[in-house]
């Protein structure tokens, strides 16, 4: 049997890697099977606002001045598969803000956008952060979650029940621009409180996201079965920061482009 030249094999491998990278592990085929578990993704405004906020606008909660969020806020509730991939855009249901009108003030507080950009929705569109989360992820949470209203209300309820900011504060992990904390200590604090292992995502050594995982009945479970958060695959170093963010925002929410370098913005 003729063997392929090494170069061909290498470029095939690169192609496969590239496809896996571009698709981001998303399974968009028709008839996606039912998900295995939920991840509640929480974002740390101290990191996200410092990293991405060059631009202020009324929809960006980083720009709310002294009212900018100082707790973990909701990124989304994501149905996932155990193999590390996830379903996406599962039904044709378009986001309709009218369905969640009674939840808007809670969503503005606990599930705010931390950016000015519109988010991608299904079918090639762009929309609110909430539209992205519902269409891409929420529509795949059937049969546990019935509709858009149920998706947002359920997510808020789970978020209220598992107060990560409180657990970390009580364990001595206080937001700070000077301190670094052991990643293992943060993970242990969450394990002790919720009896499950979270997944942390860092950028430049700062905690950017913390994900809590749940069975379909919302009992906590480990985020990645059999995987060690302290392994080299983690985006977090052994010591991480939990930075505070001093808002660049203008109190009146006026549009402004703030081009301060990051260190001056602290």
Ligand X SMILES: *[C@@H]1O[C@H](CO)[C@@H](O)[C@H](O)[C@H]1NC(C)=O
Q: Which residues sit at the interface with ligand X, rule CB under 6 A?
A: 71, 110, 160, 163, 165-166
Q: Pick the closer one to ligand X by CB: 95 or 110.
A: 110
How far apart are the C-alpha atoms of 107 and 100, rounded to whole Å?
A: 9
- Is 123 catalytic? The answer is no
How far apart are the C-alpha atoms of 166 and 218, rounded to whole Å?
A: 20
Q: Of these residues, 137, 148, 208, 209, which one is catalytic?
A: 137
Q: Pick the closer one to ligand X by CB: 63 or 74.
A: 74
Q: Of these residues, 71, 75, 135, 208, which one is catalytic?
A: 75
Residues, the chain: 266
Name which of 174, 241, 180, 234 is nearest 206 in CA terms: 241
How far apart are the C-alpha atoms of 247 and 62, rounded to whole Å?
A: 6
CB of 77 to ligand X, least distance (A): 15
CB of 102 to ligand X, least distance (A): 18
CB of 181 to ligand X, least distance (A): 18
CB of 153 to ligand X, least distance (A): 14
- Is 132 catalytic? The answer is no
Sign of the alpha-carbon dihedral angle for 246, 63, 127, 76: positive
Q: Pick the closer one to ligand X by CB: 166 or 219.
A: 166
CB of 169 to ligand X, least distance (A): 6
Buried b / exposed e across 166-195, counting CB within 10 Å, b at 16+?
ebbeebebebeeeeebebeebbebbeebbe
Q: Pick the closer one to ligand X by CB: 35 or 181.
A: 181
- Is 34 catalytic? The answer is no
Between vectors from CA 68 to CA 197 and to CA 177, what angle results, nearest 5°?
Answer: 65
Q: Pick the closer one to ligand X by CB: 95 or 162.
A: 162
How far apart are the C-alpha atoms of 239 and 148, rounded to whole Å?
A: 39
Between vectors from CA 100 to CA 95 and to CA 102, what angle results, nearest 5°?
Answer: 165
The total of other beta-carbon atoms located within 10 Å of residue 136's CB is: 22
Which residue has its beta carbon closest to ligand X?
166
Q: Of these residues, 71, 133, 148, 209, which one is catalytic?
A: 133
- Which residues belong to the active site? 75, 133, 137
């Amino acid at each position: 049997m003729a063997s392929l030249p090494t170069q061909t094999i290498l470029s095939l491998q690169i192609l496969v890697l590239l496809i896996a990278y571009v698709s981001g592990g998303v399974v968009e085929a028709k008839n996606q099977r039912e998900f295995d578990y939920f991840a509640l993704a929480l974002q740390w405004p101290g990191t996200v606002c410092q990293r991405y906020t060059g631009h202020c606008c009324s929809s960006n909660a980083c720009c709310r001045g002294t009212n900018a969020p100082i707790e973990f806020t909701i990124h989304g509730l994501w149905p996932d598969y155990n193999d590390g991939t996830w379903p996406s855009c599962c039904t044709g249901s378009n986001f309709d803000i009218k369905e969640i009108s009674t939840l808007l003030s809670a969503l503005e507080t606990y599930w705010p956008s931390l950016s000015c950009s519109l988010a991608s929705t299904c079918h090639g569109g762009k929309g609110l952060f909430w539209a992205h989360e519902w269409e891409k992820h929420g529509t795949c949470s059937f049969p546990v979650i019935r509709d858009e209203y149920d998706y947002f209300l359920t997510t808020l309820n789970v978020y209220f029940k598992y107060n990560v900011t409180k657990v970390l504060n009580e364990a001595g992990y206080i937001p700070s621009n000077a301190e670094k904390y052991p990643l293992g200590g943060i993970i242990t604090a969450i394990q002790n409180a919720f009896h499950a292992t979270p997944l942390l995502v860092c950028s430049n050594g700062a905690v950017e996201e913390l994900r809590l995982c749940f069975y379909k009945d919302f009992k906590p479970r480990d985020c990645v079965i059999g995987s060690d958060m302290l392994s080299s695959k983690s985006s977090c170093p052994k010591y991480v920061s939990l930075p505070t963010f001093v808002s660049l925002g203008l109190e009146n929410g006026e549009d402004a482009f703030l081009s301060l370098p990051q260190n001056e913005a602290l």
